Structure 1
Amino acid sequence: MSSPAKRRSTGRHHGDLRNALLRAALELVGEKGPHGFTLAEASRRAGVSVAAPYKHFADRETLLAELATTGYREQYDRFARALGGSEDPVQQLAAFAAAYVRFAAEEPALFDITFHAGLDKSRFAELASAGDELTGLLLPVARRLAPDPDDAYDLLLRVAGAAHGLAVFLRQGLFGVGSGTLADTEEKAARTARAITSG
């Protein structure tokens, strides 16, 4: 008799099983938050046995860590495009802040996993590496405005912190609703970043 992990009751290829579980978990995070679901629920959503996930993921945190890594990589791509629109570091950090807000609005589940799942990066080398790559993309821009490494990191944190706060306010509806709300909040984030970097 085959073990539960090898059972293919749904006829899915193993590679599809991994992706199906990731999609199901992302949907559940969108509905319940990063702490509001179990691997068993993700299995049911994906249409597989509750034992199936353990072939790919040791536990729920391992699955979330893979999604958080995806979140960091998506941010990297978005932020790299934003930085590419200008050679001026003030404008680059303003564009980063606006892109941060848009990421939170367009990928709310990935945003929540990346920032609110409470994952221990020391357990997940790939996640830590993806986070370091993101810092490595942004920190050189801040260094052009604040040559001291500590000052540059502090500047980047202030810009990112302001963008994060505006992104959360946007998602909570504090800026209202409507087709122009996201664009208005992006402009708020860019304006705030310019004020921080110019000050």
Structure 2
Amino acid sequence: MTANANTVNIKSDESYHHGDLRAAAIALGLEKLASQEVPDLGLRAIARELGVSATALYRHFANKDALLDALAVEGIRQLGLCQKKAAGSAESKNAQFRATGEAYVNWAVANPALFAITFSRRTSGDLADPEGGENEAFRQLQAGISSVLPQLGPRSDRASAAMHAWSLVHGLANLILLGQIRNDPEVIRSVVAHTFGLERTDPDCA
């Protein structure tokens, strides 16, 4: 696993400004997901490690599920930013779209625990609805579809094509994480390239 979270500073209840405690709890949750095989994401455990009272943390999260939902929202945000960065390093439209697909798989494999939580929560309705929540990852797929397949007319057609691409990279990531397919960059590039016969590129994002 890789640690993508910020370092958490231990503070007392009084030393946190408004909003800081919520951000610190999310950061610690991300850190635990990245570094521990079986992380304890209970609010009391998080509060104890932050050096604050459980009561203070309950002001920001009603329960453990609320914290997991917040981690899922952060996961989809990080995944989308990873895809956006990868697309920005490619030149042609096809290469940009391919880069977002490869980045999706690479991010999932590099962040398995966060990936699992991200797609096990229902944080913002239908993940395939770009207006239904903070799903930057699916917006990247929608934008890629519009660029490489401009002939698609209705919005529903573009959404279906994006879901086709999403299903492929999501399934590939899970197969790698389950050990059914080896984690080989060449294999990832080749499989993603078959989505719409896209040209090859080498995105640098994990």
Using the TM superposition, give the Cα deviation of residue 59 of structure 1 relative to its aligned residue in structure 2, in angstroms.
2.5
Q: Distance in 2 between matches of 1:82 and 1:147?
A: 27
Closer/same/farther in 2, CA of residues 148 and 10 from structure 1, 3 Å limit? closer
Q: Distance in 2 between matches of 1:46 and 1:96?
A: 35
1:191 aligns with 2:196: no
Closer/same/farther in 2, CA of residues 68 and 162 from structure 1, 3 Å limit? same
Q: Distance in 1 between matches of 2:144 and 2:181?
A: 29
Q: Distance in 1 between matches of 2:185 and 2:196?
A: 17
The residue that corresponds to 1:49 in the other structure is: 53
Q: Which runs of 5+ in 2 are unaligned?
A: 1-10, 200-206
1:155 aligns with 2:161: yes
Q: Distance in 2 between matches of 1:108 and 1:47?
A: 28
Q: Distance in 2 between matches of 1:37 and 1:75?
A: 21
Question: Which runs of 4 or more aligned residues in structure 1 lie more than 4 Å from their structure 2 counterparts after TM superposition?
Answer: 8-12, 27-30
TM-score by length of 2: 0.69
1:165 aligns with 2:171: yes
Aligned CA RMSD, in angstroms, stands at 3.2
Closer/same/farther in 2, CA of residues 175 and 79 from structure 1, 3 Å limit? same
Amino acid at match of 2:172: L
The structure that is helix-richer by fraction is 1
Q: Distance in 2 between matches of 1:73 and 1:24?
A: 17
1:94 aligns with 2:98: yes
Q: Of the candidates 133, 136, 140, which is equivalent to residue 143 of structure 2?
A: 140
TM-score by length of 1: 0.71
Contact 1:97 1:189 in 2 (8 A): no
Deviations 1:131-152 (A, max 9, x none): 1x44333313313412332221
Closer/same/farther in 2, CA of residues 191 and 71 from structure 1, 3 Å limit? same
Using the TM superposition, give the Cα deviation of residue 65 of structure 1 relative to its aligned residue in structure 2, in angstroms.
2.7
Amino acid at match of 1:173: G
- For 1:10-25, list aligned pairs within 5 A: 12-14=15-17, 17-25=21-29
- For 1:98-109, list aligned pairs within 5 A: 98-109=102-113
The residue that corresponds to 1:112 in the other structure is: 116
| Corresponding residue SS for 1:116 | coil
1:72 aligns with 2:69: no
Contact 1:98 1:187 in 2 (8 A): yes
Using the TM superposition, give the Cα deviation of residue 185 of structure 1 relative to its aligned residue in structure 2, in angstroms.
4.3
Contact 1:92 1:141 in 2 (8 A): yes
| Corresponding residue SS for 2:134 | helix
Q: How many residues align?
A: 178
Q: Which runs of 5+ in 1 are unaligned?
A: 1-7
Q: Distance in 1 between matches of 2:132 and 2:69?
A: 10
Bigger Rg, which one: 1
Amino acid at match of 2:139: G
Using the TM superposition, give the Cα deviation of residue 93 of structure 1 relative to its aligned residue in structure 2, in angstroms.
2.6
Closer/same/farther in 2, CA of residues 54 and 190 from structure 1, 3 Å limit? same
69-78 vs 24-33, which moves further: 24-33
